[in-house]
Amino acid sequence: MIAGILSKLFRKIRLVAASDLAAASKLRYLRDVAIGFLDDSAARKGYREYRLRGGASVILRGVLRENSTDEKVFEEVFMEKVYAPYVEAARQIAPIILVDLGANIGLSVIALARKLRPRAIVAVEPDRGNFSLLQENLRRAGFMDSCMAVQAFAGAERGFAELVDSGNGAWGMRMGAPARTGIPVLPVEDIIHLANDNMADDKMASDKTATNVAVASPETKIVLKCDIEGAELHLFLNLRQWEDRVHYIILELHTEFLSVDHFRQCLEASRYHWRMDGEIPPHAVLAVIGLERLAARTVVHSEYAAGS
């Protein structure tokens, strides 16, 4: 047992040392981790604040508050750097608008925006508690002026749904069945329209002499990050409805809902060729990959096209 605890602690130390945390916050985080090992219930209530290199700060809920997964997400984003392999590819298509589906408490938005420097951002998150902290973290990081935060699900068509627990607690909160009321469900094309509107609003604010400001200019491209707990099934079954508006996708694929074979079939039914960055390991429950849209196909398979 002691050996296991020490192994976890040493792993945390290595991750923290290589992380995007500022020096003082690295020490604070290690202190909090050590206290947590000694007294989990006492150390992980309330909120904690950490500063990133460059001056931005973020806040996390303790793991016992609202069954929070904030600490794990924080480590994935800023220590394990799960999105880092795809940042360089996304940089090549600049200038961009960043659209984050499943923004959680804003850590992925902040990490990607710090690297990609998008002209505008739209962050979509359905959970009320996460959404409140998303707004606060965007404010602390200095992105509120360029970011539109939207409390909604990303789905195949407009409607409403409730957030439901699949049985895995905070890790398993997913979009429920369509309903008459609840949290709005927005198709990707509507969310991208919001991104363009946000870009236009930003242009208007920076150019007070403009009298007729268009939406995002043709050279501005969409980078889409998607981590929506299995609802990507509905998005990729309807890929043709929005694929022409997105240039690069950072996707967390949940194979329980969208199998690897079915996912590849969705890409084959696309009107475009897609280049995949990263790999989906055999029998993986989830995998993070990048997808770059390339040239249009001359022949398109229609078996898995939307509406077929």
Q: Would residue 303 count as lying in a domain?
A: no
Contact 293/271 with Cβ under 8 angstroms?
no
Residues, the chain: 308
pTM for the full model?
A: 0.89
Sign of CA dihedral 273, 185, 170, 165: negative
| pLDDT confidence tier of residue 208, bands split at 50, 70 and 90 | very low
Give me the mean pLDDT over the 42-54 stretch: 81
**Portion of the chain with pLDDT greater than 70, in percent:** 84
- State residue 149's pLDDT score: 97
DSSP secondary structure code for residue 297 in this structure: P
Contact 72/82 with Cβ under 8 angstroms?
no
Q: Tokens representing 73?
A: 């997400």
Q: Would residue 11 count as lying in a domain?
A: yes
- State residue 24's pLDDT score: 95
CA–CA distance, 84 with 77 (Å, rounded to integer): 9
pLDDT one-digit tens code per residue, 49-82? 999 999 889 999 876 555 678 989 999 999 999 9
- One domain, residues 62 and 129: no
- One domain, residues 107 and 237: yes
With a cut of 60, say whether residue 30 has pLDDT above it: yes
- One domain, residues 194 and 283: yes
- State residue 172's pLDDT score: 67
CA nearest neighbour of 258 among 238, 232, 292, 228 = 232
- One domain, residues 74 and 198: no
Helix 128-141 and helix 107-116, axial crossing angle in degrees, nearest 10: 30
pLDDT one-digit tens code per residue, 131-171? 999 999 999 999 989 999 999 999 999 999 999 987 665 66
CA nearest neighbour of 238 among 294, 190, 187 = 187
End-of-domain residue from the set 25, 46, 80: 80
- One domain, residues 121 and 74: no
With a cut of 70, say whether residue 126 has pLDDT above it: yes
DSSP secondary structure code for residue 33 in this structure: H
End-of-domain residue from the set 31, 52, 80: 80
With a cut of 70, say whether residue 296 has pLDDT above it: yes
Helix ranges (H only) for 142-174 are none
Residue 306 burial (CB < 10 Å; 0-12/13-18/19+)? Answer: middle
Contact 13/34 with Cβ under 8 angstroms?
no
Contact 86/290 with Cβ under 8 angstroms?
yes
Residue with tokens 């690295």: 26
Q: Would residue 40 count as lying in a domain?
A: yes
Quote the domain boundaries for residue 94. Answer: 81-296
- One domain, residues 40 and 95: no
CA nearest neighbour of 259 among 238, 229, 278, 233 = 233
